Amino acid sequence: MKKVFLVFAIAGGLIACNSKSDAELQQQRTIDSLNAVAAKQHAIDSMNALRKHEAPTTTTVTQSSQNTTTSNEAKKKGMSAPVKGALIGAGVGAVTGAIIDKKHPGQGAVIGGVVGAGAGAGTGAIIDKNQKKKESSNP
């Protein structure tokens, strides 16, 4: 029994002597944290380099140990949603109006085009508003 106790006491003493102190553990945590920040910065720099070569957008990323700021300036391409909606609505409304008013297809096309353009522009404005809301909530 004394031998078993002596073996456990020696093993415990060796384990206690080999364990790292709190200062060494804190130093290792600091080194790991700095390595993680360096890896993040490397990834950000890589993405910025890819964006410079791929698209005409301008992205500026600055990082310090306390904050990260990202700003994107992208050129808008194409028509807005209300304009697209008005054009599609006018076309569909004109065709529908001409088909419905068989006695006066020209008059039906004009009335249908005007009503369709109004409805399409309203729908496009709602879609545009929802897209802006989603973009502002997702950075």
d(CA 53, CA 51): 5
Residues 61 and 97 in one domain: no
The residues that bridge with 60 in the sheet, in sequence order, are 71
Domain count, the chain: 2
> pLDDT, tens digit, for every residue of 79-138?
788 888 888 988 998 899 889 988 888 999 999 999 999 998 899 899 888 888 888 887
Co-location of 12 and 61 in the same domain = yes
- C-alpha angle 118-122-124 in degrees, rounded to nearest 5: 115
Q: What are the tens digits of pLDDT across the range 70-87?
A: 445 555 677 788 888 888
Q: What are phi and psi of 79, to 5 degrees?
A: -85, 160
Judge if 64 and 107 occupy the same domain.
no
47 and 87 part of one domain? no
Contact criterion met (CB below 8 Å) for 62 and 48 = no
Amino acid at 118: G
Range of the domain at 13: 2-73
